[in-house]
Chains A and B, each alone.
Chain A
Amino acid sequence: MKKTLLSLAALALSAPAALAHATFEQREVIQNQTQRMVLRVPHGCGAEATLRLRIAFPDGVVAVQPMVKAGWELSTVTGPLSQPYHSHGTEITEGVREITWEGDLPSEFYDEFVFRARFTDALPAGEMVYIPVVQECANGAERWIEIPAEGQSARDLAYPAPGVMVNAPAGHGHGHGHGHGHGHGN
């Protein structure tokens, strides 16, 4: 009986385990709006400090702009977009695909990494979008890159990629309306 209780407790306790992972502060994003995203990094690789933090963007996440960070060297990898989009009447076919911050974050400290991005309506409303993150340390890496298969949730995974729910703009089922193609928070 004691054991059953313990395992049930363990099961229950495992629910907020997502907090031990690299996660976004934001729970949801609105289609076709530019959002400010905050990535929270709670620990390094085991006891090792994080020396590089890398984020790779899936198709449908465009107009990516990392925020500079004191003490960290910032770089991006650009490449062709699989789904070009329009901004101020111009077709944009290239963009940031990866961000890298290089610095030093001891494992016992916490930090946040900020970027802006637009989540296009190529990402279906009502579904999660996962953005893989890799923490690189001196002798290894923590790869938050596991994406739940159908019927799975991020909770079933040891190293889930951080994700956010994609929602349609309020009052619109199809992503028309405010900020269409424009950075809402510019």
Chain B
Amino acid sequence: MRAVALSLLILMLLPLQALAHAQLRGAEPPAGALRATAPAELVLSFNEPIAPLQARWFAPDGSAVDVESRAVGPDLIITPPAALREGTQALSWRVVSDDGHPVGGTHVFSIGFHSGTPETAAAAINPAAGFAALARGLLTLALVMGVGGMLWAELSQRPAPSAIRLALAAVAPASLLLLAAQAIDLAGEGPGSLLQPAVWALAVASPFALTAGLAMLAAALAASGRGWTLRVAWVLAAASFASAGHAARAEPVALMAALVFVHALALIFWAGALPGLIAALRAPDAAALMVRFSRRAVPMVALLVLSGAALAWRQVETPGALWGTAYGWVLMAKLALVALVLALAARHRLRLTPALAIDPATTRPAFARSLRRELLLMLAILALTAGFRLTPPPRAMAEPPQTRVELHLHGRDAMADITLIPGRPGQNRLEITPLDGDFQPFVPLELVLFLSIPAAGLERMELRASPDDDGLWHAGPVHLPQPGPWDVVADILITDFRKALIGGEFMLLP
């Protein structure tokens, strides 16, 4: 009661002056920023002196705590909660300015990484993913030819061709390139983001750090090129392939990763030996070397084909997906090339190797030509395999159906159909169809959405939507911290002098 009386008193005493609302001018960290570590304080800067009313911190898991806030002139200074989890943070603030008008809002930024991206399985081929696939391809080529080439050099007791040495030296740069590509892809902010340590921290925390680390270790060990060290390098290189990627991450992971490991072991041996074999054709004991290679290669090829078949079967699931999806097309192209390579290999084993022993002089040029073809095909297969990076396997696409939450906002002068994708806590994007009072689509001048959870003390987030060519308006991605009922208000500018403010509620799925 005393409080009410006091408020009334304040009301009466207030000088009748013309003053403006407080407006948020900037923040540190800025809205949407990604920081490696939690800031000691969060500063919101307004256009005029303010007094804090409330500050509530929403952690990445949606839990909320009230936090300390103080005003220094036009700045609101907030102390983050002590134990801050990594991910996207949302701070709901409410301040009052000199004119007495309380103003509120929600400020969102991320620590370590951006929580839950809206479309994980989307097949969008963006430049960053293309760059990552290119880096993956380079690393595959360098690692397979480098380590495999050194392995065959030792088995054949001949010096490794200079191309092999070159490939080995390229492993470390290619590994770093893969990490950089991965960092850009994860941060989703373009190559400029590489200047931020936090973005590198993202890449180092991803499975590709293991891929790159194992690859570089394998290359370093293989460079010494002797005995057990070389065999360990072979195993590490194969482990590098099994450490990340679609194929190695399918359920059951232990079995799938093991299959990728075996597949890579066999591949490294076979493909890596080819340059050495071409060089060895001129040697007097070429026929004996070919026989030695064949004896070892036959079980390797069997392993390669069997493990490859099992992996492909798991990824594609149904025969229809072979021609129904981009992944299926890449796979079929790869299988066609594999069939050609196998045919060439069989010809080398069954026809040319015996012929080389009988008539080296006439067989040698044909054998060299054929081996070069085999090598080229092998390189093409490796390059194509990196293309899998760009295409989600049918297995992944079949997994979670994309969820969405839909609502209709009703008004006399304007309405809106709104879809939230995926309609769960975390990053969401919104699609809005503006309608006039007769449910007919129309083009507003501006469309702004305000989202809030009044019950949880989450002040409104302002989301400006923009139209695409089809008249559908898009907003977000926006980080929504909590499931449950949300308030939404659409501010639709119909003409310069007319607008519609229409409100409603939606349930965010758990």
- Within the complex, the shortest CB–CB distance from A49 to chain B, in Å, comes to 14
Q: Is the CB of A11 within 8 A of B47?
A: no
- Within the complex, the shortest CB–CB distance from A54 to chain B, in Å, comes to 7
- Judged by a CB distance under 8 angstroms, whether A134 is at the interface is yes
Q: Is the CB of A17 within 8 A of B497?
A: no
Q: Which of A10, A145, A157 contacts B53 (CB 8 A)?
A: A10
Q: Is the CB of B497 within 8 A of A134?
A: yes
- Judged by a CB distance under 8 angstroms, whether A83 is at the interface is no
Q: Which residue of A lies closest to B17 (CB)?
A: A19
Q: Spot the interface stretch: B2-10, B299-307, B374-382.
A: B2-10
Q: Is the CB of B100 within 8 A of A8?
A: no
- Judged by a CB distance under 8 angstroms, whether A93 is at the interface is no
Chain A 141-175: CB-based contact to B (< 8 A → 1; otherwise 0): 00101100100000001000000000000000000
Chain A, range 1-39, C-beta contacts under 8 Å to B: 3-17, 19-20
- Judged by a CB distance under 8 angstroms, whether B23 is at the interface is yes
In Å, the complex CA distance between A11 and B14 comes to 13
Q: Is the CB of B10 within 8 A of A3?
A: no
- Judged by a CB distance under 8 angstroms, whether B20 is at the interface is yes
Chain A, range 36-76, C-beta contacts under 8 Å to B: 40, 42-43, 46-47, 54, 56
In Å, the complex CA distance between A14 and B104 comes to 13
- Judged by a CB distance under 8 angstroms, whether B83 is at the interface is no
Q: Which of A6, A9, A11, A42 contacts B19 (CB 8 A)?
A: A42
In Å, the complex CA distance between A66 and B102 comes to 35
Q: Is the CB of A12 within 8 A of B7?
A: yes
In Å, the complex CA distance between A4 and B99 comes to 19
- Within the complex, the shortest CB–CB distance from A164 to chain B, in Å, comes to 17
Q: Is the CB of B3 within 8 A of A143?
A: no
Q: Which of B18, B96, B501 contacts A19 (CB 8 A)?
A: B18
- Judged by a CB distance under 8 angstroms, whether A181 is at the interface is no
Q: Is the CB of A40 within 8 A of B100?
A: no
Q: Is the CB of A13 within 8 A of B100?
A: yes
Chain B 87-123: CB-based contact to A (< 8 A → 1; otherwise 0): 0000000001001111000000000000000000000
In Å, the complex CA distance between A110 and B20 comes to 11
Chain B residues with CB below 8 A from A40, complex form:
18
Chain A residues with CB below 8 A from B8, complex form:
12
Chain A, range 64-122, C-beta contacts under 8 Å to B: 110
In Å, the complex CA distance between A156 and B96 comes to 16
- Within the complex, the shortest CB–CB distance from B100 to chain A, in Å, comes to 3
Q: Which residue of B lies closest to A6 (CB)?
A: B53
- Judged by a CB distance under 8 angstroms, whether B16 is at the interface is yes
Q: Is the CB of A42 within 8 A of B18?
A: yes
Chain B residues with CB below 8 A from A3, complex form:
53-54
Q: Is the CB of A14 within 8 A of B496?
A: no
In Å, the complex CA distance between A47 and B20 comes to 11
Q: Which residue of B lies closest to A97 (CB)?
A: B497
Q: Is the CB of B497 within 8 A of A56?
A: yes
Chain B, range 1-59, C-beta contacts under 8 Å to A: 3-4, 6-8, 10-11, 14, 16-21, 23, 25, 47, 53-54
Q: Which residue of A lies closest to B20 (CB)?
A: A43
Q: Is the CB of B10 within 8 A of A54?
A: no
Chain A residues with CB below 8 A from B47, complex form:
46-47
In Å, the complex CA distance between A54 and B497 comes to 9
Given A20-B20, A42-B18, do A13 and B496 touch, yes or no (CB 8 Å)?
no
Chain A residues with CB below 8 A from B101, complex form:
13-14, 17, 20
Q: Is the CB of A9 within 8 A of B7?
A: yes
Q: Is the CB of B497 within 8 A of A145?
A: yes
Q: Which of B7, B18, B499 contacts A143 (CB 8 A)?
A: B499
Q: Hey, which bits of chain B sit against chain A, CB under 8 A?
A: 3-4, 6-8, 10-11, 14, 16-21, 23, 25, 47, 53-54, 96, 99-102, 493, 496-499, 501
Q: Could you list 7 A-B pairs, sorted by A, with CB under 8 Å?
A: A8-B3, A8-B4, A13-B11, A16-B16, A16-B99, A17-B100, A42-B20
Known contacts A10-B100, A157-B501; 12 further A-B pairs (Cβ under 8 A): A3-B53, A10-B53, A12-B7, A12-B11, A14-B100, A43-B20, A46-B47, A47-B47, A54-B497, A56-B497, A132-B498, A134-B497
- List the 3 closest A-B pairs by CB distance, nearest first: A13-B100, A12-B7, A42-B18
